[in-house]
Amino acid sequence: MADIQIVTPALWPEYELIDSGNFQKLERFGKYVLSRPEPQAIWDKSLSDEDWEQQAHAIFKRDRQSPERGDWQTSPDMRDPWYVSFRQEQLKLTFKLALTTFKHVGLFPEQSDNWLFIYDKIKAMSLRVARPKVLNLFAYTGGASLAARQAGADVTHVDAVKPVINWARENMDHSELDNIRWVVEDAVKFVRREVRRGNYYNGIILDPPAYGRGPGGEKWVLEEQLNDLLKSCADLLDQSDFFFIINLYSLGFSSIIVDNLMKQVFGDVPNLEWGELAVTDQFQKRLPLGVFYRFGI
């Protein structure tokens, strides 16, 4: 049985967490520094407010009428959108970043360790399987899809939001990749249909939000539906050559909850890793950014 662990993202020049605290984080994406809310950074900042303001090219300000939305205050030299590259070992990806009203920029750097995991698993699997099939659910702007495709997998990318699919397609083009299958659909409906069809996947990547809506208004509530979705994913996973990754960002979900769920659904699995994803700032404060659970041959 693998012990719980903390996984930090692969080091790459285009990203760094400069400071965190007072429910905020100060990050550099490429040549731009952003200041935005972070609910888990409950400690004090290490730098002064003046230092943050001097460094930041863009500062997210919440809308008083909405707990989620807001606007960005940008410096005159800030270009939006912009591009950053990830180069690690044989994996070479390029992402378009943009300032959204939900504080996101289209990239979750803490996932870079998972990208390397995906790439390595598919490369090893390709020695036995001609073209591994990978399913990425709640796939957002496609970092995991790009990693799988560059490793040589046949990738199906599923997300309920069409503009997000379009964004992922741009990332594919900028990464000089092709032939990802794009599916704009509710993830639960798609998985159930694939089970009925008797389809199988060598790799499944699951990155669900706490709440969401499908393109037909389907309601997604993590606590209510995750257990059943995992059972359906287990039916889809190939029994001979496989890997599985789940990431959760909900503040109410600990890694122990995920461990209980996964043990019940999948039982004993090979090469298990589970715990927290975290990023360390320049002052050695570790910022937790979700829990993960992954395994595979």
Per-residue pLDDT, averaged over 104-122, amounts to 95
Q: Binning pLDDT at 50, 70 and 90, where does residue 253 land?
A: confident
Burial environment of residue 91 by CB neighbours within 10 A (0 to 12, 13 to 18, 19 or more):
buried
CA–CA separation, 137 and 190 (whole Å) = 9
CA–CA separation, 172 and 55 (whole Å) = 31
Per-residue pLDDT, averaged over 82-110, amounts to 95
**pLDDT value, residue 283:** 97
Q: Which of 118, 48, 47 is nearest to 89 (CA)?
A: 118
Please list, in sequence order, all residues whose beta carbon lies within 8 angstroms of the beta carbon of residue 268, skipping any fewer than 6 positions away: none
Q: How far apart are the first and last CA of the chain?
A: 15
Q: Which CATH class is domain 107-296?
A: alpha beta
Per-residue pLDDT, averaged over 83-92, amounts to 92
- Over 80: is that where the pLDDT of 66 sits? no
Give, in degrees to the nearest 5, the angle at Cα 103 between 98 and 104.
55
Residue 67 tokens, joined: 């707990």
Taking the model in full, what pTM does it have? Answer: 0.93
**Does residue 208 have a cis bond before it (omega within 30 degrees)?**
no
CA–CA separation, 261 and 24 (whole Å) = 31
- Over 80: is that where the pLDDT of 127 sits? yes
Q: Binning pLDDT at 50, 70 and 90, where does residue 223 land?
A: confident
Q: Binning pLDDT at 50, 70 and 90, where does residue 33 land?
A: very high
Exposure b/e, 177-192, CB count within 10 A at least 16 = b: beebebbbbbbbebbb
